[in-house]
Amino acid sequence: MLMFRRHLLPWLKVLLCQGLALAIVLALLPMLPEGWRFGPGWVLLFEGALAALFGLVLRLPRIFLPIQLFLPLLVLYSDALPGWAYLVAFLLCLLLYWNSATEQVPLYLTNGRTAAALAALARERGARSLADLGSGLGDVVVRVARACPDVAVAGIETAPLAFALSRLRVALARAGNARIHYRSLWDEDLAAYDLVYCFLSPVPMPKLYEKALREMRPGTLLVSNSFIVPDVAPERVIEVEDGRRTRLHVYRMRG
């Protein structure tokens, strides 16, 4: 059910928005006054903009805005792009979604409200150090580092493009308490952290919990966004009031 909501539902909404926008454009075109003529490019851009607007109403994640906007243009003019553009697009995707095939962990991002809830938890528990295992584009690292200047925040990432972009992001944010490391989360020593955050997928959770049990100190926290550790009761579940009703599963390490 969770996989349907997260992966399939947004694309079904995209299809719905595009279909609705196309129907409206086709209905409007014959009504245009004499002399109002637009090239197909402008019509398709208008259709994409309408679809993007519907996407906002349906609360699609913001990443779908540019997809909605340019999708009709790309469908019609796909053969106008040179062949190498597809190779470049493929390479960029490969460098960004590096861990999708091997670790079965794709890239999707923690939203602002969830990062704020995580920062509040770090403050409440007096954490001095926090790691985001698989830190993506560095959103969590930057937001928590800003909200908690006394906490040393580390992002651990191996997707080359995500790593480079998040490094740049941290440098631009001038957050002195934030760092991004190019390292596999499996090689990171979790003993260094008071709070370890992850937003991965169901696949690595059992192995990650075993690693946390081996390495993390008693009383420290493993917090998983959305994905549970099977057969382990969390100490607490934080329900975030965001569009996707995020649940943060908080596991406390026992002595």
Whole-number minimum distance, CB 170 to ligand SAM, in Å? 13
CB 62 within 8 A of CB 246: no
Whole-number minimum distance, CB 197 to ligand SAM, in Å? 7
User: Pairing state of beta strands 129-133 and 178-182?
Assistant: unpaired
The enclosing H or E element of 100 equals helix 99-102
Whole-number minimum distance, CB 179 to ligand SAM, in Å? 14
**Could you identify the residue written with the tokens 């009703």?**
245
Compare residues 14 and 248 and give the one whose CB is closer to ligand SAM: 248
Residue 217: C-alpha distances to residues 65, 221, 252 (Å): 43, 9, 10
Whole-number minimum distance, CB 97 to ligand SAM, in Å? 7
Whole-number minimum distance, CB 219 to ligand SAM, in Å? 23
Whole-number minimum distance, CB 183 to ligand SAM, in Å? 7
Compare residues 43 and 129 and give the one whose CB is closer to ligand SAM: 129
Compare residues 132 and 194 and give the one whose CB is closer to ligand SAM: 132
Compare residues 140 and 170 and give the one whose CB is closer to ligand SAM: 140
Distance, CA of 108 to CA of 92 (rounded, Å):
16
Compare residues 136 and 234 and give the one whose CB is closer to ligand SAM: 136
Q: Which parts of this chain interact with ligand SAM (CB under 6 A)?
A: 98-99, 103, 105, 107-110, 132, 134-136, 139-140, 156-159, 162, 184-186, 199-200
CB 129 within 8 A of CB 121: no
Compare residues 11 and 186 and give the one whose CB is closer to ligand SAM: 186
CB 232 within 8 A of CB 209: yes
The enclosing H or E element of 50 equals helix 40-57
Q: What is the DSSP string of 212-228?
A: HHHHSPTT-EEEEESPP
Compare residues 48 and 134 and give the one whose CB is closer to ligand SAM: 134
- Residue 228: which of 210, 244, 205, 208 has the closest Cα? 205
Whole-number minimum distance, CB 113 to ligand SAM, in Å? 12
Tell me the residue nearest to ligand SAM as measured from the CB: 134
CB 177 within 8 A of CB 122: no
